[in-house]
């Protein structure tokens, strides 16, 4: 896969932790970063799918929600 060089800045402690994780897992920092970004994008995609799957759900007002909690004896 073609690669592109990117420059970004990390908190010093975060960078140290990332270096240690790379060393422990015997991976390059760039490989770990690619894996981390891929996982985040995948998680975001799953979140979007979940939100879209509920787009047609019935919406209840906050007031109605509170009323139901009261009637159920929960508050």
Q: Is the pTM of this model over 0.75?
A: no
Instruction: Indicate if the alpha-carbon torsion angle 57, 63, 69, 75 is positive or negative.
Output: positive
User: Tell me, what's the pLDDT at 47?
Assistant: 95
36 pLDDT exceeds 90?
yes
Dihedrals phi, psi of 8, to nearest 5 degrees? -150, 165
Is 1 a residue whose pLDDT tops 90?
no
Domain positions in the chain: 12-55
pLDDT above 90 (res 42): yes
Mean pLDDT of the chain: 94
Say whether pLDDT at 2 is over 90: no
Question: Percent of the chain having pLDDT more than 70?
Answer: 100
The radius of gyration of the chain from alpha carbons, rounded to an integer in Å, stands at 22
């Amino acid at each position: 896969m073609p690669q592109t060089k990117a420059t970004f800045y990390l908190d010093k402690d975060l960078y140290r932790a990332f270096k240690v994780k790379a060393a422990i897992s015997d991976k390059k920092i760039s490989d770990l970063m690619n894996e981390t970004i891929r996982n985040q994008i995948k998680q975001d995609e799953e979140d979007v799918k979940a939100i879209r799957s509920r787009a047609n759900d019935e919406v209840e007002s906050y007031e109605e929600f509170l009323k139901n909690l009261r009637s159920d004896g929960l508050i």
